[in-house]
């Protein structure tokens, strides 16, 4: 969460920093700020998005730092916005300083004044305290006092034309070309003819006319340039009004690319790790957690390998019992989710092998895992995950099918090859949900129900709806509603049922009858055309048939579209829902 940027060069820094920050807003947009270094430090901050800083465009200086915030400590106010300044230093920070209270008390005892409620401000104070002329030495000393996670960019009036960087468990990249740049993520600074470097945990850098990198001991190190596909890095909406709708539309082509590479995914080492695994433990958060639930259905049904799925933030503190031969599969679009990384680290410490399934391959999670597989969804800009979910499913289903094949159960690979074109058809028929929007516009709550794999789609549909429409919503196993939640269904309450299993059709339809009888407006996403004819339905979308196990791949698409269209109709920007950020790098 939070995005940081820095620039040193010959051009005026303010417009460049603001342009770069704009591209990082998916990481947070509660408040923003920049600091420019001339003989002194000049700061401009605002609440809300980076566009509130347009008054800063004229600021002088060719060296500076910037920040877009997702509040963790302290309200999203101008006072709490970064950069934080203390005497000769200004600092921007992404991450969380867990011991900031102790450090702040120490500074306050020295008579120093704090202006914000943030955990970050203390870093500027410590820099001032430890600085003796060498910026990297001071930064090293400060970092040795910090617990938690940080990507830091620092300027100092005693070091003209210089930005200093430090990284621990929060991403930071450096770009050299047309000036020297840094940012939390590549797209902020992606341009042709620029060379990129990724800072590793514990490393430091000094940006001036060039970038110099240091290890934790302060020794200069040479770093290999990181790959950057500028085309992929520079976000474009391609005629769509929002990234989210564009990204849903890209699902079929993403799956098509992945499907062609089906075999290449499973390197011999991964095959061996999977083949030898006696148990699979999935850890993930949010949408990726739902992908793991779908994967569990597939691995257990096709390959008969026992699986468990745990929300990563719970796994870490649950003192998990790891069995011999257990493989932990950590799934994350960004590869930067702090909870998922912490869960994977714990699993490694306890001797388990870790397979990371990521979309961003140069991410922290990918860096620490024993094996890495890329879902290859391409860059996802909208905060709500859509195509990356489908790509995660494609990869995880392929692994399950590969494992099943190794055990003599053939045929699933052929079915997987059909999924890209079925996904394309589903996006087209899924547009039918636009006719449902009016019924959701002012709903006070919505329920999504399904059984088995359909329940996973219901959970994901519900998450999408709540995060981008702000309508309270729950995903439920269809048979569970009557054990309590049915009490909440009243006249007009929208209930979306997902039904793709012939085997469970009657059971799910029983739940439909039950909610209909209590006044609910029922909508159905189904691959069973005859069920769509039920008179109890206000709306139905019939999606292609792809078998019960793989069905969330398709049934989720109309639900993503439903959330999108309700969000737009409610006047919300679906790409940037309030309080959320794309990359959750704090615990």
Q: Taking the complex as a whole, how short is the minimal distance between the CB of residue 71 and ligand F6R, in angstroms?
A: 16
CB of 468 to ligand F6R, least distance (A): 8
Please identify, using beta-carbon distances, which residue of 116 and 364 lies nearer to ligand F6R: 364
Cα–Cα distance between 306 and 280 in angstroms, integer? 6
Instruction: Pick between residue 194 and residue 582 the one whose CB is nearest to ligand F6R.
Output: 582
Query: Tokens 């994901």 correspond to what residue?
Result: 460
Cβ atoms < 10 Å from Cβ of 325: 11
Known catalytic membership, residue 324? no
User: In the beta sheet, which residues pair with residue 181?
Assistant: 7, 175
CB nearer ligand F6R, residue 65 or residue 172: 172
In the bound state with ligand F6R, the residue whose beta carbon lies nearer, of 389 and 412, is 389
Q: Is 267 helix (H, G, I), strand (E, B) or coil?
A: coil
Query: Closest separation between CB of residue 21 and ligand F6R, Å?
Result: 21
**Whose CA is closest to 30, among 64, 67, 4?**
67
Pairing relationship of beta strands 211-214 and 279-284 according to DSSP bridges: unpaired
| Residue with smaller CB distance to ligand F6R, 42 or 285 | 285
Residue closer to ligand F6R (CB basis): 281 or 340 = 340
Compute the least distance from the CB of residue 275 to ligand F6R, in Å. 26
Q: How far is the CB of 312 from ligand F6R (least distance, A)?
A: 8
* Residue 57: both structure tokens together: 């465009």
- Residue 268: how many CA atoms within 13 Å on its side-chain side? 0
User: From the CB of 339, what's the least distance to ligand F6R, in Å?
Assistant: 8
Nearer to ligand F6R, 288 or 481 (CB): 288
Closest distance between ligand F6R and the C-beta of residue 290, in Å?
Answer: 8
- Write the DSSP symbol of residue 299: I
Residue nearest to ligand F6R (CB): 286
Q: Which residues bind ligand F6R (CB under 6 A)?
A: 285-288, 332-334, 337, 340, 384-385, 463, 467, 584
**CB 363, min distance to ligand F6R, A:** 9
| Nearest residue (CB) to ligand F6R, 155 versus 561 | 561
For 24, 156, 407, the CA distances from 182, given in Å and listed in that order, are 12, 16, 49
Residue 330 neighbours by CB under 8 Å, 6+ apart: 282, 283, 284, 312, 340, 341, 343, 344, 347, 354, 355, 356, 357, 365, 369
Q: Which residues are registered as beta bridge partners of 155?
A: 90
Count of helix runs (H) and strand runs (E) in the chain: 19, 24
Question: Which residue is catalytic, options 23, 296, 387, 582?
Answer: 582
- Residues 209, 226: Cα–Cα separation, whole Å: 20
Closer residue to ligand F6R (CB): 138 or 568? 568
Closest CA to 80 of 108, 115, 44, 48: 115
- Counting beta carbons within 10 angstroms of the beta carbon of residue 145, is it exposed (0 to 12), middle (13 to 18) or buried (19 or more)? middle
**Shortest distance, CB of residue 99 to ligand F6R, whole angstroms?**
25
Residue 534's alpha-carbon distances to 505, 510, 512, 530, 567, in angstroms, are 12, 12, 10, 8, 28
Q: What are phi and psi of 419, to 5 degrees?
A: -60, -40
- Other CB atoms within 10 A of residue 220 CB: 10
Pick 266 or 388: Cβ nearer ligand F6R: 388
To the query of whether residue 2 is one of the catalytic residues in this protein, the response is: yes
Counting other chains too, the contacts that 210-213 makes at CB distance below 8 Å and 24 or more residues apart are 210/176, 210/180, 211/174, 211/176, 211/180, 213/174
Give the C-alpha separation, 394 to 388, whole Å.
10
Q: Which CB atom, from 127 or from 382, has the smaller least distance to ligand F6R?
A: 382
Mention every residue, 6+ apart, whose C-beta is less than 8 A from residue 530.
none
Q: Are the C-beta atoms of 319 and 418 separated by less than 8 Å?
A: no
Instruction: Please pick, among 2, 182, 228, 297, the residue that the annotation labels catalytic.
Output: 2
CA-wise closest residue to 148 among 120, 186, 181, 106: 120
Tokens, residue 220: 């200069």
The 3-class secondary structure across 472-497, one letter per residue, is CEEEEECCCHHHCHHHHCCCCCEEEE
For residue 221, the minimal CB distance to ligand F6R (Å) is 29
User: Can you tell me the distance from the alpha carbon of 298 to that of 99, in angstroms, rounded to the nearest whole number?
Assistant: 43
Nearest approach in angstroms of CB 335 to ligand F6R is 7
Cα gap 431→445, rounded to integer Å: 22
- Catalytically active residues, by annotation: 2, 582
């Amino acid at each position: 969460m939070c995005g940081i940027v820095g620039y040193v060069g010959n051009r005026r820094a303010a417009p460049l920093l603001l342009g770069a920050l704009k591209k990082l807003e998916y990481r947070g947009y509660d408040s923003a700020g920049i600091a420019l270094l001339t003989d002194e430090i000049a700061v401009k901050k605002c609440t809300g998005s980076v566009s509130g800083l347009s008054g800063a465009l004229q600021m002088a200086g060719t060296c500076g730092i910037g920040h877009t915030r997702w509040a963790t400590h302290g309200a999203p106010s101008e006072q709490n916005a970064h950069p934080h300044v203390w005497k000769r230093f200004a600092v921007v920070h992404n991450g969380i300083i867990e011991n900031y209270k102790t450090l702040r008390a120490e500074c306050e005892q020295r008579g120093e004044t704090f202006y914000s409620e943030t955990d970050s401000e203390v870093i500027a104070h410590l820099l001032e305290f430890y600085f003796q002329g060498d910026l990297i030495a001071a930064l090293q000393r400060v970092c040795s006092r910090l617990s938690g996670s940080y990507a830091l960019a620092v300027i100092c009036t005693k070091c003209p034309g210089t930005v200093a960087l430090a990284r621990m468990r929060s991403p930071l990249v450096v770009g050299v070309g047309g000036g020297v740049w840094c940012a939390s993520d590549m797209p902020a600074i992606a341009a042709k003819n620029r060379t990129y470097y990724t800072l590793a945990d514990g490393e430091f850098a000094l940006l001036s006319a060039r970038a110099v990198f240091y290890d934790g001991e302060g020794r200069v190190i040479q770093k290999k340039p990181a790959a950057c596909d500028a085309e992929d890095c520079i976000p474009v909406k391609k005629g769509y009004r929002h990234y989210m709708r564009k990204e849903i539309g890209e699902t079929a082509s993403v799956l098509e690319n992945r499907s062609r590479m089906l075999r290449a995914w499973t390197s011999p080492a991964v095959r061996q790790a999977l083949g030898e695994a006696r148990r699979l433990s999935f850890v993930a958060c949010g949408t990726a957690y739902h992908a793991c639930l779908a994967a569990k259905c597939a691995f257990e049904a096709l390959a008969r390998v026992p699986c468990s799925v745990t929300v990563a933030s719970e796994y870490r503190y649950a003192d998990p019992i790891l069995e011999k031969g257990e493989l932990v599969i950590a799934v994350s679009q960004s590869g930067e989710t702090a909870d998922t990384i912490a869960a994977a680290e714990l699993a490694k410490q306890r001797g388990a092998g870790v397979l990371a399934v990521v979309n961003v391959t140069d991410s922290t999670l990918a860096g620490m895992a024993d094996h890495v597989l890329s879902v290859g969804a391409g860059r996802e800009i909208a905060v709500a995950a859509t195509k990356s979910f489908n790509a995660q499913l494609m990869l995880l289903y392929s692994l399950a099918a590969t494992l099943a094949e190794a055990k003599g159960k053939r045929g699933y690979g052929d079915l997987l090859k059909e999924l890209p074109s079925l996904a394309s058809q589903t996006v087209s028929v899924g547009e039918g949900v636009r006719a449902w929007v009016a019924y959701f516009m002012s709903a006070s709550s919505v329920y999504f129900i399904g059984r088995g794999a359909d329940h996973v789609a219901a959970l994901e549909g519900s998450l999408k709806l709540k995060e981008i429409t702000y309508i309270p919503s729950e995903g439920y196993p269809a048979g569970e509603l009557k054990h309590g939640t049915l009490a909440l269904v009243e006249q007009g309450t929208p209930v979306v049922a997902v039904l793709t299993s012939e085997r469970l059709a009657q059971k799910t339809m029983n739940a439909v009858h039950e909610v209909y009888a209590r006044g609910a407006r029922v909508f159905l996403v189904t691959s069973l055309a005859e069920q769509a004819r039920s008179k109890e339905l206000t709306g139905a979308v019939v999606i292609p048939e792809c078998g019960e196990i793989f069905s969330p791949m398709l049934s989720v698409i109309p639900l993503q579209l439903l959330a999108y269209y309700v969000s737009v109709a409610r006047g919300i920007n679906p790409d940037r829902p309030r309080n959320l950020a794309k990359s959750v790098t704090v615990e």
